[in-house]
Amino acid sequence: MSALLIAEHNNKEVKPFTLNAITAASQIDQDLHVLVIGHSCEAVAKSISEIPNVKKVIHVDDAVYENYLPENFTPVVIKNSENYSHIICSANTFGKNLMPRISALLDISQVSDIIKVISTDTFLRPIYAGNAFATVKSTDTKKCITIRPTSFDPAPTTGGTAEIVKSEKAEASDLTKFIKREEVKSDRPELGTARVVISGGRGMGSGDNFKLITAIADKLNAAIGASRAAVDAGYITNDHQVGQTGKVVVPDLYIAVGISGAIQHLAGMKESKIIVAINKDGEAPIFSVADYGLEADLFEALPQFLEELNKLNTIQK
């Protein structure tokens, strides 16, 4: 049998986490086919066909698929699912929204958010905000799996020549209408894939004070993150939230500023390679996961930090 991966894209480009999901999917089954559903997304199908891990691309194109509504994507996936042992997608908001709808109609108990492939039916996944790891074995004949993208390396993007097969659209639904998407455009690296992330918490005190973080992010070419408290307080938009129900990040360097370190925040960042915590409360739980802790007032420490960075001859980008 083969595995079928549902690609996430914006009709122009493949979303980066699809590449991580492809790596995981080809560990499950090397005969990996990718389903590209969208509108005028030939370029996406073509770029996926060039990924060496991909053996075949199935391309379904129609205007109804422009905004990736799960009510419309699900019938297409089901229609194309018959000859596959695994249906796979990344566990970000796209895959989390879509996969359970497919899974329920196929009467499959989905395995969400896996961080390791142990065998074709057995996987490792975090539970309780990553405070425990469960090894689980799916007993369904066909399996629906979502992949935690940051736990797998991105697949290489060139050198492959998979065939692209066009497939017919499925029945469209009018249950849901797309109205608008407010994307926060930024020249910074994406939070999920950045090498360095600097995050602010409630201790920042205001949205305006995030400029102290922005200045350092500019210097380190870092993405900007935030704790839920900072988002709830309106200091920064939701797309920056790191944590159990926000984004999971695994950068080389994670700098937590004015973040106490609630369990839910740690769930989103504690796999980072190096963690720095800057907090004036020496007892804050964030220090228990930090490689380097600095007990200091962030309003003094951040300008000094920028000054010290300015003194360096070179900074990794």
Q: State yes or no: residue 130 binds another protein (CB under 8 A).
A: yes
**In this structure, is the dihedral angle defined by the CA atoms of residues 80, 83, 87 and 88, taken in order, positive or negative?**
negative
Q: State yes or no: residue 127 binds another protein (CB under 8 A).
A: yes
Minimum CB distance to another protein, residue 166 (Å)? 26
Q: Which range in 19-27, 32-40, 172-180, 206-214 contacts another protein by CB under 8 A?
A: 172-180
Nearer to another protein, 35 or 99 (CB): 99
298 contacts: CB under 8 Å, gap ≥ 6: 203, 204, 212, 257, 258, 278, 279, 280
Q: What CA–CA distance (Å, rounded) separates 159 from 180?
A: 37
Q: Which two tokens stand for residue 275?
A: 């963690």
Nearer to another protein, 162 or 301 (CB): 301
Where in 46-75 is the site for another protein (CB under 8 A)? 69-71, 74
Q: State yes or no: residue 151 binds another protein (CB under 8 A).
A: no
| Helix or strand run (H / E) with residue 93 | helix 93-105
Q: Closest Cα partner for 36 from 166, 182, 193, 202?
A: 166
Q: State yes or no: residue 171 binds another protein (CB under 8 A).
A: no
CB burial of residue 199 (10 Å; 0-12, 13-18, 19+): buried
The answer to whether residues 192 and 94 touch, using CB atoms and an 8 Å cutoff, is: no
Minimum CB distance to another protein, residue 41 (Å)? 17
Where in 96-125 is the site for another protein (CB under 8 A)? 96-105, 107-113, 122
CA dihedral 144, 150, 153, 158 (to 10 degrees): 80
Minimum CB distance to another protein, residue 59 (Å)? 23
Nearer to another protein, 162 or 267 (CB): 267
- The β-bridge relationship of strands 111-114 and 84-90 is unpaired
Q: State yes or no: residue 133 binds another protein (CB under 8 A).
A: yes
Where in 257-296 is the site for another protein (CB under 8 A)? 263-264, 270, 273-276, 282, 287, 289-296
Q: What CA–CA distance (Å, rounded) separates 24 from 21?
A: 5
Nearer to another protein, 30 or 237 (CB): 237
Where in 174-233 is the site for another protein (CB under 8 A)? 174-184, 192, 196, 220, 228, 231-232
Where in 225-244 is the site for another protein (CB under 8 A)? 228, 231-232, 237-239, 244
Q: State yes or no: residue 137 binds another protein (CB under 8 A).
A: yes
Nearer to another protein, 107 or 168 (CB): 107
Nearer to another protein, 164 or 296 (CB): 296
Minimum CB distance to another protein, residue 78 (Å)? 10
Minimum CB distance to another protein, residue 159 (Å)? 28
Where in 11-50 is the site for another protein (CB under 8 A)? none
Nearer to another protein, 20 or 112 (CB): 112
Q: State yes or no: residue 164 binds another protein (CB under 8 A).
A: no
Per DSSP, the residues of 48-89 read HHTSTTEEEEEEEE-GGGTT--HHHHHHHHHHT-TTEEEEEE
Q: What CA–CA distance (Å, rounded) separates 298 from 290?
A: 16
Task: Quote the radius of gyration of the chain (alpha carbons, Å).
Answer: 21
